[in-house]
Structures are given as C-alpha cells and as structure tokens.
Structure 1
Amino acid sequence: MFDHIGFNVKDFTKSKAFYTQALAPLGLSIVMEGEGWAMIGKDGFNFWFGSFGPAPTAIHVAFSAANHAQVQAFHAAALAAGGQDNGAPGFRPQYHPNYYAAFVIDPDGHNLEAVCHRGEKPE
C-alpha cells in the first residue's frame, strides 16, 4: 500500500546511527541518502527520515519481521543503540493469537515495533 513513510527527526546523526543499528536485524539498511536525510528499506518499501523541520509528536511505526528471532534481535539491537524498552518480545494475544512483537522508543520518542504474525512455538 505504501511506497514510503517519512518524518523529521531532531538529531539526524543520532537517528541515523540508531535506525541503522536497530533495523539491521530485520534486513533493512540504508538504500539512499543525502545531506540531512536517509532512506532505509528493502523490497521496495522505504522508511525515510531527515532534518528538514521540527520532529512530529510521537508516532507509531511497525516493521514486519520474518520470524520471532528477528523480533528479538530488533529489540536487542534497538536497546543497544540507545532505544528505550516499551514492550519486550512476546505474544500479544489481544491483537490475535500469533501476534509476536517487541516495542522500543526511539531518540525522538516514537514507538517502534517489530512484529511477526507467524505462529511459532514459544521459546
């Protein structure tokens, strides 16, 4: 449905370091960049961020994960990159029985999620 999503960040350098590290476990990497902006993506979907104006109030962005291990790796990488835990990896049956996700707050206060909808055995 989307070609890309984008928003401004307060500190581009800090956000670039955070997103590069946090999204690597999901197979996402920088696909294009310029002065004050970068696009991270894979398979035609791109996530854009830059420093062209004020950062928006907190938003929520969910990234697809291929499996539970990717959700766990995203959470660990995002925390190591300076993110704040907002929900450890685990099932969220209030959404549906196979909803496995983790949540992290980024440097601008945005709620990032990695989610896998595949049913796997709990670890």
Structure 2
Amino acid sequence: MFDHVVFGVSDYAASKEFFLKVLSPLGVTVVSEGPIGIELFHPSSKASLGIRLKPVEKPSPLHLAFTAENRGQVDAFYRAALETGAKDNGAPGLRPNYTGKYYAAFVIGPDGHNIEMVCHESEA
C-alpha cells in the first residue's frame, strides 16, 4: 500500500508505454501529464504513481508491487510486461514461502526496476 511513488527514468517514452500497458489490466489510467512527467492512478484508489521526464543517468532499482483483485490480472500483467520487452523475474504463481494465497508475478522493467503484481485472494 502506498500514497504515491515518484521516480525518474532514463527513457520516459519507454517507461510510460511499459507502465500504461502492464497496469491496464487493473484499470490504471493517466490522471495528468505535463512538463514534469506523468501521474497514473486507479479510479478507486487514492494512491498514484509518478514517472518523471527528467532523465536520470542510472536510476536506483526499485521494487514496486501493485495489488491485483484476482489472479487473472496477475497473469495479464505478466503477459503485457513481456510483450513490452520486460525481462522475466518470476512467472505467475503461488509463493508459499510468503503466504498460502500469495499469487504474484515479477518482471524487470525498462530501467531495471523489479515490478511485481500480487493477488492475496484465493483462486475463484
């Protein structure tokens, strides 16, 4: 859970495309875009994700975990991420070492960030 996360990227266009595509299964959309970058959010959430236009030479890797409502969203996130060129860092599946219902997928995004989508619900 977070209120907002903001970070700079080395390739704004690639990162914008990546996050819009991989978060679309959750219904995440652009709330604003302007001279400093883009802000994304889900209509039923108060949290946002900001991607800044100012290029950074070598961003520090982040681990961003997004909450999915169901396992299908985790699967869709993973497929979308690989389609945009992300690297596999853990295919969709249960992670029993976390909890019995922790279903997640992990990818490495355009700037080397570990991006996760997780569902804490049982399979319906």
Q: What is the TM-score when the length of structure 1 is the normalising length?
A: 0.92
The equivalences for 1:1-123 within 5 A come to: 2-42=2-42, 43-54=45-56, 55-120=58-123
Question: Does structure 1 retain, via aligned residues, the 8 Å contact 2:87–2:107?
Answer: yes
Alpha-carbon deviation of 1:120? 1.2
Alpha-carbon deviation of 1:53? 4.9
Output the aligned Cα RMSD.
Answer: 1.4
Identity value in percent: 47
Alpha-carbon deviation of 1:35? 2.5
| SS at 1:87 equivalent | coil
Give the Cα separation in 2 of the matches to 1:115 and 1:16.
21
Question: Does structure 1 retain, via aligned residues, the 8 Å contact 2:35–2:53?
Answer: no
Q: 1:13 to 1:36 in 2, by over 3 A?
A: farther
| SS at 1:75 equivalent | helix
Higher strand share: 1
Structure 2 gap segments, 5+ residues each: none
Alpha-carbon deviation of 1:51? 2.6
After TM superposition, where is structure 1 displaced by more than 6 Å over at least 4 residues in a row?
A: none
Q: What is the TM-score when the length of structure 2 is the normalising length?
A: 0.91
| SS at 1:88 equivalent | coil
